[in-house]
Amino acid sequence: MPAHPLVEQLRDLIVALPAHGVVRDGLGVVFSIALPLLAFAAALGLRRLGVSLRAARLLVRLAGGAWIFIAFYWIYLWPAGWLPPITLLIANLYLRGKKWTRPLREKDEDPPPLFFGHQGSLVVLMLLFWWPGYQFMIIGGVVAATLGRETAAIVNRRWGKRRFRFKGGRERTFEEATAMAVVTLVGIFLTNFFFARIPDVWFIPWCLFGAVLAASVATVTDIYARKEIAGALMPVLTSLTLYFYTMAGFR
């Protein structure tokens, strides 16, 4: 039985909307902002159900970086890419001062956390690299600052025993640093492999060497940078490493 004409028109409209540049960018911005905010609301709900604070905050922090994948596929207009991190930066500053966000804070935590991570760094990266062929550099920085750091923190809490401190750096455990290096290496390699579009390249070695360099920079930054700025520095330095690696002719 054929569908009603109104149903067919609605279906055609839904299919056509993402193909229209301005509408597609607008939807990408909305979806990119909505993902972290919905994750934040879900985390508050999970806390009320008895889920641990660490698990709830992990969900929010990962969502605070995962919007970049939506942006990659939906946002093409350069200025539109600035809107999600700027909006989430404002949301960070607004939410950290509200009493009803206390279920997602440690007791007497001072200063209150930046729930969505250091979105200011992503504003800088979107200004620098949100161009066709360059977006994978931002994604690599986000992978290091979210997936790499959060995995390292989990490993440290569960299995961290052998402690070390390099001169000028913070105290770390061997297990934590290893997890950071390995997860970041794998994550950036997959990012390069699936998102980079570099013609005439011996591609898998190119992806691997770039991932080794970027993961090394991310891990060293995590070890040496002060805790207050490590989260902000890491995505910027990691993305810049991928940029200079690409531009230097390692192809």
Secondary structure (3-state) at 164: strand
Show the tokens assigned to 192: 């390069």
Work out the end-to-end distance of the chain between its first and last CA atoms, rounded to an integer number of angstroms.
Answer: 56
d(CA 104, CA 91): 15
Domain boundaries, the chain: 1-117, 131-251
Interval 73-86: pLDDT, tens: 888 887 888 899 99
As to burial, measured by CB atoms within 10 angstroms (0-12 exposed, 13-18 middle, 19+ buried), residue 205 is exposed
The CA distance from 9 to 111, in Å, is 52
pLDDT digits (tens, 9 = 90+) for 96-154: 878 888 888 887 776 777 888 888 899 999 988 888 888 899 999 999 999 998 898 88
pLDDT greater at residue 239 or residue 105: 239
15: its two tokens? 């299919």
Q: What is the mean pLDDT of the chain?
A: 85
pTM of the model: 0.84
- The secondary structure of 63-103 as a DSSP string is HHHHHHHHHHHH--STGGGGHHHHHHHHHHHHHTT-GGGGG
Closest CA to 75 of 35, 117, 114: 35
Based on the number of CB atoms within 10 Å of its own CB, is 234 exposed (0-12), middle (13-18) or buried (19 or more)?
buried
d(CA 104, CA 123): 25
Predicted confidence at residue 251, as pLDDT, reads: 47
Q: Residue 170: is its pLDDT beyond 80?
A: no
Flag whether pLDDT at 180 surpasses 90. Answer: yes
Q: Could you give the C-alpha distances from 41 to 109, 128, 185, 194, 202, in angstroms and in order? A: 20, 31, 31, 31, 44
> For 187-230, what is each residue's pLDDT tens digit?
999 999 888 877 666 688 889 999 999 999 999 998 888 877 88
